[in-house]
Structures are given as C-alpha cells and as structure tokens.
Structure 1
Amino acid sequence: MWVEDWAPRAACRDQQPDQLFVRGAEQNKAKQVCASCAVRTECLAEALDNQIEWGVWGGMTERERRALLRRRPNASWRTVLEAARNGQDATV
C-alpha cells in the first residue's frame, strides 16, 4: 500500500536535517537511517519525481538518484516504484 502522507512515518523524522544533507562517507551513516524505514520507497519516489538534488532520500545519494534519472528521464517514479513493490512491471 502506498502511503501518501509518508513524512510523519519516516525513520528520519526525529533526525536533524543536517544529518541527511552530508557529503562523502557521512552519506553512508545517513543511508543507514533509511535502511529500516517503512516509507523509504515513498521518500525515494518524492525525491526522484521532484528531482531533488541534495541529501539522502529513500536511501540514495544525489549521485545514485542522478544515475536513475539519466536512465529513465521521463519516468513517473512513483508508478515505477509502486509497481516494483507490487511485483509488477511498470511501463513508462
């Protein structure tokens, strides 16, 4: 089930924002917060669909998200990720 109002359920909701907008090895610590997050997919879709450039979102760094966006520039990431979660193939 897709969670529309995902932010209040995010594992990072009690983190300082500065901990999620870091560089280098610190990004791995930020990604660990995402690892067990119940709304990780919704967070990632938000960042990809809105082309958010900075920070760790849905367990992915800026560089990782840019790579996905280059591969599927016209994708609706919510559709893609929701279909993947449901075991379906999403065509864009």
Structure 2
Amino acid sequence: MLHPPHQSLQVAAVPQQRVPVRNRDQDAPWHTEAVCRRDEAGLFFAPSKEPTAARLSREEAAKRVCARCPVLVECREHALLQPEPYGVWGGLTAAERRVVLARRRRREVELQKSAPAPTVAAAG
C-alpha cells in the first residue's frame, strides 16, 4: 500500500497543462514529489462539522495547491483506484471523484454494448 505524503496524501485542481517532471528518480514513489507534502494537511481534509462556506473555501485553496503539483495525475488515479473516500486528492473532492468514477463505469458499459460480438469460427 502506498503511504501518503502526510497523514494522508492530499492534492487538488486540474491545471490546463501538466508540466513534465524532469530528472525525477523513476524508482521513487510518485507521492514523494507531491506539493501537498509541504503544505498543511488540514487544507485537504475537512474538520468535523465544518460550515459549507468554510469547506468550499478550504477545498478551493487545496485545489490551488494541486494545480501546481507535478504528480497531480498520479495522485488523482491513486485516489480513484483506491478509492479514497475523504479529502481533496488529485484536484478533486470526494464528491467529484464519485462523479468521475460513475462516468467511467457508464463509459465502460457503453463501450461493452457497442463492441462487436465475438464471432465463433465454425469447425470444419
């Protein structure tokens, strides 16, 4: 199991274009490059009974951190594959990740429906 940068790896927001990381040690876990490792963990996870306006503001701040992260894509995929139930990961909140997962499932079903049926060659 991957160990996140702080108590639990947090990251957010989708940048317009991802800048490739150069000279990164290919053997190092992806989260060692996460920008959120240097930020306050509380920014990425909601305190209990957080008011809605405060939550939205905190999530936007977390997403701004994620927007400059070189491992945003890796973080997001980690959160979607786990799936991580809480916090901002890969620029997405838990609710946003649920939407992405639902869309992926629908897309897979549609692709399966549109795929041509396998043909069975007649033995001769």
Per the normalisation by structure 2, the TM-score is 0.54
The ranges of structure 1 where at least 4 consecutive aligned residues each deviate by more than 3 angstroms after the TM superposition are none
Which ranges of structure 1 fall in alignment gaps of 5 or more residues? 76-92
Which ranges of structure 2 fall in alignment gaps of 5 or more residues? 1-19, 21-25, 47-54, 108-124
Give the whole-Å Cα distance in 2 for the aligned partners of 1:27 and 1:54. 12
Give the whole-Å Cα distance in 2 for the aligned partners of 1:70 and 1:37. 25
Per the normalisation by structure 1, the TM-score is 0.71
Q: Which has the larger radius of gyration?
A: 2
Give the whole-Å Cα distance in 2 for the aligned partners of 1:56 and 1:43. 10
Q: Does 1:13 align with 2:37?
A: yes
Q: Which residue of 2 aligns with 1:37?
A: 69
Q: How does 1:1-92 map to 2 (within 5 A)?
A: 5-22=29-46, 23-73=55-105
Structure possessing the higher relative contact order (Cα contacts under 8 Å, 6 or more residues apart): 2
CA-based RMSD? 2.2
Residue identity (%): 39
